[in-house]
């Protein structure tokens, strides 16, 4: 767009013969620009590598690991050794394979929560912000409604309604009470965007509501949606852990890092490794996702040219 305008101006100048032709800047798409800025963000890059490592280890290592997660034939409370790097649990399960499996479930739940929550939030928010009027007030009341019911209480009750604490149910239930912040952000952005000329032009050209929202509004909000969806993953990891920790989240046979911490934290005095193992993985995940989200925010921010950190 910029290059187009510059090109027109240059050719106009050429025609008038007043100015020498100006060298045009190489056109760069927003995606490349963001990627370039993100790659330069050291902390975010380190976090990306850490997160990728955690994901790879959690997915691949269980295939080769010497013990199976369901095998409870080991001695109870074995101390850490080369055979059991994180010791064994009370019932005689290898802690490393527990933590690996918990990491898989925690990540899976968090990603589902973020995707579903972002989807609901973006749709509600952009529809409310674009249509305004009655739709907006109705959706705003709906947001208020979900805000007054604490996520953790609603999730606990709903997890009982649908099945007995399977990971997918917990994820959906958490997502059902996680879309409100994103809806508020997209609503504000949709309101601002719908005043712009290109939206008016699209409307004048006969674009329907659905087309304008999905083709014109949402692509222009991709920055804040990406950033908030990323941060929502970190939030979801922690909320799911909290819910499982008070015993109202994921139930066996499924598991999660929060569930594993609940099962083992009573041993923190005498066998700290049983607590600190899953705890460190949990913090590593949420910390790296938070840093990635922060890096993305800086990368998407057009005002920010050069970056610290």
Partner 1 sequence: MNLVIYILRRLAISIPVLFVGTFLVFIMISAAGDPLAELRGRPNINPEAIAQTAQQLGLDMPIIPRYFHWLGNFLTGDWGVSVAQGNAMQPVFPKVMGAFDVTIKLVVGAEILALIVGVAVGVLAAVKQYSIVDYLATTLAFFLFSMPIFCVAVVLKTYAIQVNGWVRDLGLTDWLGNPWLRTTSPENLHSTGFGDFLAKYSGAYLLPTLSIMAISFAAYSRFQRASMLETLNQDYVRTARAKGISGSRVVFRHAFRNALIPVATLFSVNFGQVLTGAIITETVFNWHGMGTLLVDSVNHLDPSTLMGWLVVVAVLVVVANLIADLLYGIMDPRIRVG
Residues that bind partner 1 (CB under 8 A): 141, 144-145, 147-154, 156-158, 160-161, 234, 238, 241-242, 245-248, 258, 261, 265, 268-269, 272, 275, 279, 282-283, 286-287, 290-291, 308
Residue 214 Cβ vs partner 1, minimum distance, rounded to whole Å? 29
Q: Of 98 and 218, which has the nearer Cβ to partner 1? A: 98
Residue 221 Cβ vs partner 1, minimum distance, rounded to whole Å? 21
Q: Of 178 and 218, which has the nearer Cβ to partner 1? A: 178
Q: Is the CB of residue 244 less than 8 Å from the CB of residue 259? A: yes
CA atoms within 13 A on the CB side of 279: 11
Q: Of 10 and 283, which has the nearer Cβ to partner 1? A: 283
Q: In what helix (H) or strand (E) does residue 263 lie, and over which residues does it extend?
A: helix 257-264
Q: Of 104 and 290, which has the nearer Cβ to partner 1? A: 290
Residues 6+ apart with CB under 8 A from 8: none
Residue 253 Cβ vs partner 1, minimum distance, rounded to whole Å? 20
| Dist. CA 107–CA 193, nearest whole Å | 34
| Dist. CA 10–CA 295, nearest whole Å | 36
| Dist. CA 40–CA 265, nearest whole Å | 40
Q: Is the CB of residue 69 less than 8 Å from the CB of residue 88? A: no
Q: Of 108 and 287, which has the nearer Cβ to partner 1? A: 287
Joined together, the tokens standing for residue 189 give 């952005």
Instruction: Classify burial at 56, counting beta carbons within 10 Å of its beta carbon; exposed 0-12, middle 13-18, buried 19 or more.
Output: exposed
CA atoms within 13 A on the CB side of 157: 7
Q: Of 212 and 228, which has the nearer Cβ to partner 1? A: 228
Residue 134 Cβ vs partner 1, minimum distance, rounded to whole Å? 15
Task: Tell me the helices (H) and strands (E) count for the chain, helix number first.
Answer: 13, 0
Residue 250 Cβ vs partner 1, minimum distance, rounded to whole Å? 14
Residue 157 Cβ vs partner 1, minimum distance, rounded to whole Å? 5
């Amino acid at each position: 767009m910029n290059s187009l305008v510059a090109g027109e101006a240059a050719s106009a100048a050429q025609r008038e013969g007043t100015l020498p032709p100006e060298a045009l800047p190489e056109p760069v798409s927003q995606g490349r620009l963001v990627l370039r800025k993100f790659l330069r963000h050291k902390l975010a890059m380190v976090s990306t590598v850490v997160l990728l490592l955690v994901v790879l280890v959690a997915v691949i290592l269980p295939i080769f690991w010497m013990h199976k997660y369901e095998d409870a034939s080991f001695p109870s409370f074995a101390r850490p050794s080369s055979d059991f790097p994180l010791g064994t649990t009370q019932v005689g399960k290898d802690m490393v394979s527990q933590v690996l499996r918990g990491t898989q479930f925690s990540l899976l739940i968090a990603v589902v929560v973020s995707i579903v929550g972002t989807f609901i939030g973006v749709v509600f928010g952009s529809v409310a912000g674009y249509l305004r009027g009655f739709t907006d007030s109705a959706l705003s009341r709906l947001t208020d409604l979900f805000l007054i019911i604490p996520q953790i209480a609603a999730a606990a009750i709903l997890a009982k309604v649908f099945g007995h604490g399977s990971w997918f149910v917990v994820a959906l239930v958490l997502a059902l009470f996680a879309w409100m912040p994103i809806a508020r952000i997209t609503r504000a952005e949709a309101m601002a965007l719908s005043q712009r000329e290109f939206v008016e032009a699209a409307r004048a050209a006969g674009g329907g509501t659905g087309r304008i929202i999905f083709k014109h509004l949402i692509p222009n909000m991709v920055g804040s949606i990406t950033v908030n969806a990323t941060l929502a993953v970190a939030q979801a990891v922690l909320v799911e852990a909290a819910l499982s920790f008070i015993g109202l989240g994921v139930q066996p046979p499924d598991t999660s890092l929060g569930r594993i911490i609940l099962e083992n934290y009573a041993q923190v005095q005498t066998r700290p490794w049983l607590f600190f193992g899953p705890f460190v993985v949990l913090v590593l995940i949420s910390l790296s996702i938070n840093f990635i989200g922060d890096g993305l925010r800086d990368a998407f921010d057009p005002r920010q040219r050069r970056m610290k950190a």
